[in-house]
Amino acid sequence: MASSYEDRISKLQKRRAELLAQEKKLTAQQKAADRKARTRRLIAIGAGVESVLQRQVHEGDELNSFLDLLRIYDIGKEF
C-alpha cells in the first residue's frame, strides 16, 4: 500500500516539474515576443520621424536636440 502512495507522489512530482518547465518556456517565449514587438515599434517610429523630417537623424547632439524639442512640445501625450 505504501508503494502505491509513493508512486502517485512520484508521478505528481514529475508532472509538476514538467508543468514548471512548460511555464518557464512559455514565459521566455512571451518575453521574446514582447521584445520583438517593441523593437518593431521603435523602428516604425524612427522611420516615421525620418520620413516627416525627410532626412536621417543621427545619434548624438542632433538626436538629443530632437528629443528635447519633443519634450518641450509634449507631443507624446497624444500617443
This prediction's pTM: 0.65
CA 40 to chain centre: 10
Q: Locate the domains of the chain by residue range.
A: 2-78
Q: Answer yes or no: is pLDDT of 60 > 90.
A: no
- Lookup: cell for 68: 528635447
Amino acid letter, 56: Q
For residue 55, the 8-state DSSP code is S
For residues 39 and 32, the answer to whether their CB atoms sit within 8 Å is: no
pLDDT digits (tens, 9 = 90+) for 2-33: 689 999 999 999 999 999 999 999 999 999 99
Amino acid letter, 78: E
